[in-house]
Amino acid sequence: EAQVTQNPRYLITVTGKKLTVTCSQNMNHEYMSWYRQDPGLGLRQIYYSMNVEVTDKGDVPEGYKVSRKEKRNFPLILESPSPNQTSLYFCASMKREGHEQYFGPGTRLTVT
């Protein structure tokens, strides 16, 4: 089954404790992206990657890092989480020339 998976689905952590949210897709898509969803703000792009070893900042990259060492994986790293990073995070992937972005199920992160 073609899908985008994220782990964990739910995470509660404390300020400053490094964490990684994994994202994996099995569709051989070149493009991958991370979004955060906040009430009243819709989805905002954090980082994206056009292909392996190619990443770039989205609209709200501060406090986040990403890497793209393999085509299927695109982890999101929070080196020192803060409470304002409490949010619902979505990973998405797409073929380079495609139209549809495929979204993962989301990761709900709470930073206390």
Partner 1 sequence: GDSVTQMEGPVTLSEEAFLTINCTYTATGYPSLFWYVQYPGEGLQLLLKATKADDKGSNKGFEATYRKETTSFHLEKGSVQVSDSAVYFCARRGAGGGNKLTFGTGTQLKVEL
Does 31 help bind partner 1 (rule: CB under 8 A)?
yes
55 vs 7: CA distance, rounded Å = 20
Q: How far is the CB of 17 from partner 1 (least distance, A)?
A: 26
Residues 61-80, interacting with partner 1 (CB under 8 A): none
Q: How far is the CB of 15 from partner 1 (least distance, A)?
A: 27
Count of Cβ atoms closer than 10 Å to residue 20 Cβ: 13
Q: Which residues pair with 85 in a beta bridge?
A: none
Which CB, 48 or 85, lies closer to partner 1?
48
Which CB, 72 or 108, lies closer to partner 1?
108
Does 90 help bind partner 1 (rule: CB under 8 A)?
yes
Binding site for partner 1 (CB under 8 A): 4, 31, 33, 35, 40-45, 48, 50, 58, 90, 92, 94, 96, 99-101, 103-106
